[in-house]
Structures are given as structure tokens and as C-alpha cells.
Amino acid sequence: MAARRCASDLAANIVFFLLFSFVHTQSAAIFSPPDDHLIACGATSAAALPDGRSFLTDSSLPTTILRSHGRRISVSNPSSDADPLHRTARVFTCPSSYEFDIKSKGVHLIRLHFYPFQTPEFNLSSARFHVLASGITLLSDFFAPRPLLKEYFINLKEEKLVISFYPADRSSFAFVNAIEVVSAPNDLILYPARLVKADEVAKFDGLSEQAFETLYRVNVGGPKVTPFNDSLWRTWIPDGVFLKPSSASEIVSYSGRIKYQEYGASREVAPDHVYNTARVMNGAVLSGSNYSMTWEFPVTSGYKYLIRMHFCDIASLALNQLYFNVYINGYMAYEDFDLSDSTGFLASPHYVDFVLDVDITELLSICIRPSNQSSPLWIRGLLNGLEIMKMNNTMGNLDDESPVILFSANPLKRGLGAFVRSLTCGFAFVSLSAIAFMLFLRWRSEQRSHAAWSPLPVDVSDSTLKPGKLVNF
């Protein structure tokens, strides 16, 4: 009897050992993306970042081809103590593109760095332009009045990625300081999301087929996390400015080891610095049960949003004591959410994806309230991190309701200067017209399919449907 008990103890120990050695090896693995293009545009030498990465110059890259149909100019920041990526930029006075070789198809992270500085010739904050990647409008009529970092996730299905820059009109120009094209970790987008509607929660499949723009990345209850401390070189900002003052919360932090597990969140999904701090509603210090934590984020209506909530129970004293309800824009998104059930451990990270269609409000409000399954003295709500991503609309775009329709007018009618300019932009006309034609066809077929299948456009309300923009070069 005793021997048998001993044997089963031993078996349990072996299971435990295996489990923990797995947890250990998983956390020790370093993410090395198959595609990893880091480019300092216009630079004459590689730019070394404090986070250890090195950005190569765009003129010396063998795998990257810069196609430009006219002047492309390298400009230098007059203030020499700027950050490495802010010292130079590439200015395009004609449509231009970067072409990247893609070794491994699938979801890629694309970051565009815009740092507007002034030189005697160019005032970068007065640039106005469009940016397309892989046929998706990322930015339409964009300008950068202040430093901006734009981040996207796009599923690439071809062996080339083309990122194109189009000046918004003849007198304008485009610019960019740095570009990152990096394979996303395989486990970044894995599971179906919860599609939150007024009266039900449905399943949302095919997340990895969508294009996303990151709008907010928040370390709830914790400090700013810089790319140095993030395995995917992300920046997480504190949640204070988004938290409604009426929220009843306290901050907790944890110095133990975060137990990353297979099928849970990995370190590439979010780093330890996100999971080891949280904001909680502590029943032991709050009276009654009518309290909540609410965060509010301004967004653009007319798009679906992916809301990724990161949880790691670093506050409860035991398993199966944490239950709470999640509301998004007032709709019940998850009732009686039980984190222990999903992880089986305390201090083990887990995330839940929600999708919500924002039609009129221009606001996303995320609210956590106690569940009536939890005891009044327990931790009654918790959140460690929050990411909000805009999803492409039915026309496949991330900016503007209608595709940018580009076409070339007859340059001869526009005087000699324009004619010469159009000659310098030369070949651009051909590709531009081709893109314009393709976009127009796509737009037409979208309009048709809307007309054929539904009297109301799915994504775009009639009032916001604008005619395509006309762009002359």
C-alpha cells in the first residue's frame, strides 16, 4: 500500500518535473523571426538601437529593393542628438515603393516610423501622402504633425511585400524614417475571438486573415514597457489616462515567476512586465458589490475592433476564487469569466480576444464588474493588459471609407512644369493607373455585392460613404 502510494507520488513528481521543465524551456526560447527586415531610410550607416537591434540603410540592402520613379532624397535631421531612427528620412516627390522578400508567408508585423523634422528644403510635417501595403490602404491623406509610430499586422500570401508611398497631390511629397517588416510569432493569433453583439456573443473565426492596425497597447496597473523589455519590441503604456475616475481599483504587482504554459499566452504574446502587474477590485477593501473598473478609448466608427485582454491571476490567494463579468460598450462580453479554469495555475497568463463592431459611438469602453458567483471578500475583477486593434473594413482598407482612387490627368493641359514633373515621375503613371484600375474594380465589385446581397452596406453607413478621392499627378 505504502509502496504503491510512493510510486504514484513518484509519478506525480515526474509529471510535475516534466511540466515545469517545459515551462522553463519555453520561457528560455528566444524568438527569432524568419523575416526580419529593419531599415533606417535615407541613412548612410546602420542605426543601432538601445534595444539591441540594428537597422540597415535602405541603399545597401540586397534583399530589399527600393523602387522610385523620380527623386528620392535622403534628408538628415539638423539636430544631431536625435534618436538613431530619427536622424534621417527618405523623401519621395513621386510615387515610390519598397519591395521586401518574404521567406515565410503568413502574418507579419509592419511598423512605419514617422519623425517630422525640418531641413532648409523640406518641412516634413507638411508632407501629405498615402501608404499602401500588399494592396491595403494603410494611410490615406496622412500627415505627421508629431512623431508617430504606425504598427500593422498583415497576412502576407506572396513572396514579395510592396509598401508604396504616394504624395497626396502634385505639390506634396511623402516621407518615412524607418520601416520594420518582421514575421509575427506563430502563436500571436491562434484562437477564434468572441464576437460581441447587443444580444449575444458569437464566434469570430479567421482572425489571421484580417489586417490590423494597433491603436492602443496598455500595461494595466504597471509602468511603461519599452521595446528593450519586450520580446517583440513593443511599447506598452500605463493605463491611468484611460481609466474612468469612478473606477474602484487597486494596483498589485508580483515578483514571482510568471508561469507561461503551452496553449496559454506566451512571452511573445505579452512579456513578464505586463503580466506581473495588474489592476484589481479587491472585495476585502470594497463594500457592497456595485462597483466596476472602466477604461475608455477614442476610436473611429465604421470599423470592427479586436480587443485583446490579458489576464494573469497574481492577486488571488487560491485557485477558483476569481470570477468576474466583462462588458464592452455596455454589452455583456463574458459572464462569470473563470481564469483558474483556463490556466489551472495562479500567476499563469491567459488572453481573451473580443471583436466588436463600432458603428456610431467613436468610443470603446471596457468594463469589469464583480460576478455574482464570487464571494464578497475575494478579488472580484482583474486586468493586466489591453490591446486594441482596428480591423480592415469590407473593402480591405484600414484608413478611409473608400479606396484612394488614383489616376493621371493629361499632363499637357497642366503647363510645362507639371509636364516635366510628370516625366520625372515617368513610369509611375503606368503602375499608378494599374493600381487605380484594380482598386476601382474592387470598389465596384464591393458596391455590387452590397447591392446584390444586402440593402445596407455592412461596414459603411450611407452617410459616411464618400466618393473615391481623385489624385492627380
Give the footprint of ligand NAG on this chain (CB under 6 A).
Answer: 118, 123, 125-126, 209-210, 226, 228-229, 290, 304, 335, 372, 391-394, 396, 459
Residues pairing with 279 in the sheet:
251, 383
- Nearer Cβ to ligand NAG (199/413): 199
- Nearer Cβ to ligand NAG (127/428): 127
- Nearer Cβ to ligand NAG (59/229): 229
**Which residues are CB-neighbours of 222 under 8 A, at least 6 positions away?**
236, 238, 251, 253, 273, 274, 276, 277, 278, 384
- Nearer Cβ to ligand NAG (72/369): 369
Residue 437 region, left (φ>0) first, then alpha (ψ -120 to 50), else beta?
A: alpha
Shortest separation between residue 12's beta carbon and ligand NAG, angstroms: 35
Shortest separation between residue 372's beta carbon and ligand NAG, angstroms: 4
Shortest separation between residue 77's beta carbon and ligand NAG, angstroms: 14
Q: State how far Cα 109 lies from the chain centre.
A: 8
- Nearer Cβ to ligand NAG (37/194): 194
- Nearer Cβ to ligand NAG (68/93): 93
- Nearer Cβ to ligand NAG (305/311): 305
Shortest separation between residue 325's beta carbon and ligand NAG, angstroms: 6
- Nearer Cβ to ligand NAG (4/146): 146
Shortest separation between residue 266's beta carbon and ligand NAG, angstroms: 19
- Nearer Cβ to ligand NAG (88/134): 134
- Nearer Cβ to ligand NAG (195/428): 195
Shortest separation between residue 27's beta carbon and ligand NAG, angstroms: 16
Shortest separation between residue 81's beta carbon and ligand NAG, angstroms: 18
Shortest separation between residue 15's beta carbon and ligand NAG, angstroms: 33
What is the spatial distance between Cα 132 and Cα 398, in angstroms, rounded to a whole number? 10
- Nearer Cβ to ligand NAG (136/406): 136
Q: Which three cell numbers stand for residue 6?
A: 510512493
Shortest separation between residue 123's beta carbon and ligand NAG, angstroms: 4
Q: How many angstroms separate the Cα of 33 from the Cα of each of 84, 240, 277, 357, 463?
A: 23, 33, 28, 32, 43
Shortest separation between residue 226's beta carbon and ligand NAG, angstroms: 4
Measured over the CA atoms of residue 204, residue 205, residue 209 and residue 212, the dihedral's sign is positive
Shortest separation between residue 368's beta carbon and ligand NAG, angstroms: 13
